[in-house]
A and B are shown apart, each in its own frame.
Chain A
Amino acid sequence: EAGVVQSPRYKIIEKKQPVAFWCNPISGHNTLYWYLQNLGQGPELLIRYENEEAVDDSQLPKDRFSAERLKGVDSTLKIQPAELGDSAVYLCASSPPGSTYNEQFFGPGTRLTVL
């Protein structure tokens, strides 16, 4: 079974440029998460989707960040414009429907460097 797929794995951009990250969850997983992980820290939730609906986006900085999951499968996270402080690893995770304990499966992440 394929795991969570993310691309690109690495991205270097200049500040004020836009950037987008893509995530394909494990097949059949209806819940999808985007996390931000700063160096030396644990992941912090940005947004959670149940199918195509964003059910928790309270931690998403909506002035510059946006996300979509149009068909309830893969998802895109966008930053426009990027700032220096956005340099971090962006992790995508998914979990299956009906899970009694919400175990999440993480992708390899996209490491963003903003210059």
Chain B
Amino acid sequence: ELKVEQNPLFLSMQEGKNYTIYCNYSTTSDRLYWYRQDPGKSLESLFVLLSNGAVKQEGRLMASLDTKARLSTLHITAAVHDLSATYFCAVDNNNDMRFGAGTRLTVKP
């Protein structure tokens, strides 16, 4: 059974600092997604990673995928308050989408 684990589950960081969120998954997959969810809102797609070594960047967020290690990372550069949200990774295995538990990020001034 496909399992997806994120860590940390909670992250409090100061503005301007860098940090990385990790997403490990248990079975082979070549499609990994990162979503953002604000409190009381729905999930917003951030990145779709389709192949080993894929790297995508949008603003202060950069996502990468290592299919051999079954690991994806979401790196935050020079965090700002607007990045406070919950971030989910999800792995697609033959149209069976499994989500991690989410990382609740709080960026403090």
Please list the residues of chain A having a beta carbon within 8 angstroms of any beta carbon in chain B.
4, 33, 40-45, 48, 56, 91, 93, 100-109
| B interface, over-half SS | strand
Complex contact A106–B43 (CB within 8 A): yes
Which residues from chain B contact A44 at a C-beta distance below 8 Å? 99
- B79 CB–A CB distance under 8 Å: no
Complex contact B31–A102 (CB within 8 A): yes
Which residues from chain B contact A91 at a C-beta distance below 8 Å? 42-43
For the complex, give the distance between the alpha carbons of A4 and B92 in Å. 21
From known contacts A91-B42, A105-B45, infer whether A43 and B99 are also in contact, taking CB-CB under 8 Å.
Answer: yes
Complex contact B42–A42 (CB within 8 A): no
Please list the residues of chain B having a beta carbon within 8 angstroms of any beta carbon in chain A.
4, 31, 33, 35, 41-45, 48, 50, 88, 90, 92, 95-97, 99-102
From known contacts A41-B102, A48-B95, infer whether A103 and B43 are also in contact, taking CB-CB under 8 Å.
Answer: no
From known contacts A91-B43, A108-B41, infer whether A103 and B101 are also in contact, taking CB-CB under 8 Å.
Answer: no
For the complex, give the distance between the alpha carbons of A44 and B48 in Å. 19
Least CB distance from B48 to A in Å reads 5
From known contacts A105-B45, A107-B42, A109-B42, infer whether A40 and B95 are also in contact, taking CB-CB under 8 Å.
Answer: no
